[in-house]
């Protein structure tokens, strides 16, 4: 653990099959007007919507709806949500859905009482909110982003071909989040494995950075081993509660600020994946999966020792009689086999990208400086080319 | 992750070489009267007392002192502290010291505005506070207990030969804690390794329980591997900042409720160690070290699979060609060698216990039901006998 840092994560989590009961404990803390935010309506089919509405009504809340949050929430939708929250005089924003819905709820929460343009203020200038923030609560129905216990919010601007994330401070974190692993059972397999890879990428983005000795790296190796183990079970049996609950819990701790404390981080895979998504609107986790191995193989020579450690401690590679490079390569080969086995998309072509788009994607890619190599446009193009 | 649980840990941590600057951010949140709680005065020798007092004065605080908190804080001292806090009309209790000082500060904080006998209310009847709680902040100078980010408070009653811990809910957690690894540099080696084993025991008490598949176990394996690695460095070079900072961070996460979530826990080693301490007043971590291996070897047949997993994942035992029992035994043997190497006390005789005391220690030992075998008095006597 190097450097100075603060840690504070005040989000209260309710976890388990009875987690929704926590809503009855939380609602009395807030005013009457609740803006209920959700996505395409799957929560109406699986009964979660009815359960949430019943609890809101039994707590005498006035319900205002904001439906139709899309997988990559847009600036246009954000502006619509701000108007709805203002009209409702919302005292609480209750997000029911996956990371996109939670991300969107946070973006609305910091914009309702703010009179700047939210895209410019938060996603271009990366300012912290200077106005009143409406409290947010989440009922999670999809797992991966960690948005339920952090200040992250990713918004897409189609006109500018930009998908940008802002990690807000602890005042923007959800006040509470409700995590019932059973709510994730009905998710299609494509979404489930996409979420699993999003979790893995969150951990790897924080792991593959720095050369210091850091407790966080050991915690991350544990999280990765648990994730791989549970993913193998969940892919075969999506209603295995134990596996789905471990995946849900790992997702939260992969990106609630803990494992980044006292160390540097990378996030270049997210920058590449978000650029691909800005041009294809592909599912988030799949964009990360498709660019990961080309990226890691490209930077491996600059961080060989860490890749070898990853191979041994996460993938069980036996290092005896091997060079660091050989062990590291073997680790990535095992990772590749596993990614294919659980059904991840392994190239951006399958996500709708093509060679003609590459210049545009390169241009949309933000460059980070915490990884083992700071990329330039040529590097990025080479990685994307290898991802086709 | 099984069962339903809530997680909420609102303590704000300031970590690193500049952590004490955090006091300037926190103090304006509280009223004028600060009860400054500390131990035997080592903070006056190493300069921490002067630094803290200077910051309190520059924030216009009225300082009231409560010094002389002993390693195993007593009921008598607690009653003295309550009187001091009442006389001071304390708005904030600032604990500067190790776990005993933090534990004690919490016990005072829940007793000042309470008119029951605190020993009876909190340590015999295990009630939650029903009165106003005075906020507590900690400046940590010793590492191990995790008291800086939890609701734990252990108090000793010499008249009753009892050392009892109460784990309070999140309202009793310190509001903030200041963790500067350099403050631990001057600690004598005996105290340092005692703290290291306290951390290890916290993790093992939560690890050696249950047979479910749980992300927490993977996190704990990571914490243990980091702890062992950093302890080896710190024992050779106590001023290695990286190692001491990793140990400090591991201590916090070993016992801030995270790794117990969604699983059962044991705590029988603490019950045995606390009973030994109630009769000998020995250093906490050393009492745990002295009883651990006799206890683990005694229960190993009832939880062999978990002990084998521990051997492989924490101690690097190669399981090939070995029975679970053989691998498990090899793990405990490696643990024993390591404990001896870092300088832990390996028997209770060295801590002042003798055969004549055993009946009394057995009587003082609370029995827990989360381990791999629920002990009876005969089991406890056999374990203590093997610990002599």
Question: What is the distance in angstroms between the Cα of A100 and the nearest Cα belonging to chain B?
Answer: 23
pLDDT one-digit tens code per residue, B275-297: 999 899 899 999 999 999 999 99
- Supply the ipTM of this predicted assembly: 0.95
- Which single residue is written with the structure tokens 């050991």? A218
Contact call for A222 and B226, based on CB within 8 A: no
Is residue B41 very low, low, confident or very high in pLDDT (cuts 50, 70, 90)?
Answer: confident
Query: How far A180 CA lies from chain B's nearest CA (Å)?
Result: 9
Q: B58-80: per-residue pLDDT in tens?
A: 999 999 999 999 988 999 999 99
- Say whether pLDDT at A35 is over 90: yes
CB-CB neighbors (< 8 A) of B222 in chain A: 215, 218-223
- Round the average pLDDT of chain B to a whole number and report it: 96
- If DSSP states are collapsed to H, E and C, what string results for chain A? CCCCEEEEEEEEEEECCCHHHHHHHHHHHCCCEEEEEECCCHHHHCCHHHHHHHHHHHCCCEEEEECCCCCCCEHHHHHHHHHHHHHHCCCEEEEEECHHHHHHHHHHHCCCCCCCCHHHHHHHCCCCCCCCCCCEEEEECCCCCCHHHCCEEEEEECCCCEEEEEECCHHHCCCEEEECHHHHCCCCHHHHHHHHHHHHHHHHHHHCCCCCCCHHHHHHHHHHHHHHHHHHHHHHCCCCHHHHHHHHHHHHHHCCCHHHCCCCCCCHHHHHHHHHHHHHCCCHHHHHHHHHHHHHHHHHHHCHHHHHHHHHHHHCCCCCCCCHHHHHHHHHHHHHHHHHHHCCCCCCCCCCCCHHHHHHHHHHCCCCCCCCCCCCHHHHHHHHHHHC
Percent of residues, chain B, with pLDDT higher than 70: 100
Backbone dihedral region of A282: left (phi > 0), alpha (psi from -120 to 50 degrees) or beta? beta
User: Which residue in the set A5, A223, A242 is minimally distant from B218, CB to CB?
Assistant: A223
Question: Is the distance from CB of B37 to CB of B108 less than 8 angstroms?
Answer: yes
Which pLDDT tens digit goes with each residue over B297-343?
999 999 999 999 999 999 999 999 999 999 999 999 999 999 999 99
pLDDT of residue A53: 98
Write down the pLDDT at residue A349.
98
Query: Residue B25's closest chain A neighbor by CA?
Result: A6
User: DSSP code of B127?
Assistant: P
Residue A287: predicted pLDDT:
97
Q: Which of B4, B15, B250 is nearest residue A4 as measured by Cβ atoms?
A: B15
Residue B319: which residues within 8 A CB-CB, separation 6 or more?
A: B308, B311, B312, B327
Label the pairing between strands A5-15 and B5-15. antiparallel
Question: Under 8 Å CB-to-CB from A326, ≥6 apart: which residues?
Answer: none
Placement of tokens 């030969």 in the chain = B161
Residues of chain B in contact with residue A15, where contact means CB-CB under 8 angstroms, are: 1, 4-7, 261-262
Which of B213, B220, B250 comes nearest A215 by C-beta?
B250
Question: Who contacts A275 (Cβ-Cβ below 8 Å, separation ≥6)?
Answer: A163, A361, A362, A364, A365, A366
A302 at B interface, C-beta within 8 A: no
**B206-237 pLDDT per residue, tens:** 999 999 999 999 999 999 999 999 999 999 99
Q: What pLDDT is stored for residue A227 in this prediction? A: 98
Helix/strand/coil for B334? helix
Q: Looking at CA atoms only, how far is residue A376 from chain B in angstroms?
A: 32
Query: How much is the average pLDDT of B29-42?
Result: 96
| Structure confidence at residue A115 (pLDDT) | 87
Name chain B contacts of A19, Cβ cutoff 8 Å: 4
Q: Residues B96, B52: contact at Cβ < 8 Å?
A: yes
CA distance B351 to B288: 11
Q: Which of A6, A215, A226 has its CB closest to that of B218?
A: A226
**Partners of residue B36 on adjacent β-strands:** B65, B94
Quote the pTM value. 0.96
Q: How far apart are CA B307 and CA B378, in angstroms?
A: 23
pLDDT band per the 50, 70, 90 thresholds, residue A3: confident
Q: What is the pLDDT of residues A286-316, one digit of tens each?
A: 999 999 999 999 999 999 999 999 999 999 9
What pLDDT does residue A147 have? 96
Residues B45-51 have a mean pLDDT of 95
Percent of chain A with pLDDT over 70: 100
For residues B108 and B85, what is the distance between their CA atoms, to the nearest angstrom? Answer: 8
Indicate the burial class of B117 (C-beta count within 10 angstroms; 0-12, 13-18, 19 or more).
Answer: middle
Q: What is the pLDDT of residue A243?
A: 97
CA distance A241 to A233: 10
Tokens encoding B274? 């606390």
pLDDT of residue A2: 75
Per-residue pLDDT tens over the stretch B89-102: 999 999 999 999 99
pLDDT at residue B161, as a whole number? 85
Q: Is B200 exposed, middle or buried (CB count within 10 Å of its CB: 0-12, 13-18, 19+)? A: buried
Cβ of B226 within 8 Å of Cβ of A220? The answer is no
Among B12, B19, B143, B215, pick the best mutation site for testing chain A contact (most A Cβ within 10 A). Answer: B215
Question: A-chain residues within 8 Å CB-CB of B16?
Answer: 1, 3-5, 262
Residues of chain A contacting residue B13, judged by C-beta atoms under 8 Å apart: 6-8
| A137 at interface of B, judged by CB pairs closer than 8 A | no
**For B175, nearest residue in chain A (alpha carbons):** A8
C-alpha to C-alpha distance for B193 and B182, rounded to whole angstroms: 16
Question: Which stretches within chain B are classed as H helix?
Answer: 22-26, 42-45, 48-58, 75-88, 99-109, 118, 189-207, 215-236, 241-254, 268-280, 284-299, 304-315, 324-342, 358-364, 377-387
């Amino acid at each position: 653990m190097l450097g100075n840092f603060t840690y504070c994560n005040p989000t209260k989590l309710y976890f388990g099959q009875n987690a929704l009961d926590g809503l009855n404990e939380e609602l009395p803390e807030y005013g009457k007007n609740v803006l209920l935010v959700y996505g395409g309506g799957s929560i109406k089919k699986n009964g979660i919507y009815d359960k949430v509405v019943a609890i809101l009504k039994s707590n005498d809340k006035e319900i205002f709806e904001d439906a139709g949050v899309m997988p990559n929430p847009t600036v246009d939708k954000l502006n619509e949500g701000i108007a709805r929250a203002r009209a409702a005089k919302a005292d609480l924003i209750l997000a029911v859905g996956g990371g996109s819905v939670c991300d969107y709820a946070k973006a609305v929460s910091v914009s309702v009482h703010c009179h700047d343009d939210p895209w410019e203020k938060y996603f271009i200038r990366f300012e912290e909110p200077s106005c009143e923030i409406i409290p947010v609560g989440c009922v999670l129905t999809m797992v991966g982003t960690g948005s339920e216990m952090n200040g992250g919010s990713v918004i897409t601007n189609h006109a500018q071909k930009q998908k940008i994330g802002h990690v807000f401070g602890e005042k923007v974190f959800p006040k509470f989040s409700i995590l019932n692993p059973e709510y994730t059972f009905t998710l299609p397999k494509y979404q489930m494995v996409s979420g699993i890879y999003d979790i893995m990428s969150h951990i790897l983005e924080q792991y593959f950075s720095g050369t210091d000795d850091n407790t966080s790296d050991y915690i991350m190796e544990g999280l990765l081993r648990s994730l791989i183990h549970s993913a193998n079970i969940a892919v075969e049996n999506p209603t295995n509660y134990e596996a789905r609950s471990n995946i849900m819990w790992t997702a939260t701790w992969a990106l609630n600020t803990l494992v980044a404390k006292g160390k540097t981080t990378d996030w270049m895979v997210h920058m590449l994946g978000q650029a691909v998504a800005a041009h294809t609107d592909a599912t988030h986790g799949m964009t990360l999966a498709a660019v990961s191995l080309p990226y890691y193989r490209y930077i491996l020579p600059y961080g060989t020792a860490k890749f070898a450690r990853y191979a041994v401690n996460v993938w069980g590679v036996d290092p005896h009689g091997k060079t660091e490079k050989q062990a590291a390569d073997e680790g990535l080969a095992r990772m590749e086999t596993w990614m294919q086995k659980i059904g991840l998309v392994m190239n951006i072509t399958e996500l709708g990208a093509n060679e003609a788009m590459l210049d545009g994607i390169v241009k949309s890619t933000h460059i980070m400086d915490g990884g083992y190599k700071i990329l330039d446009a040529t590097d990025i193009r080479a990685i994307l080319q290898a991802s086709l």
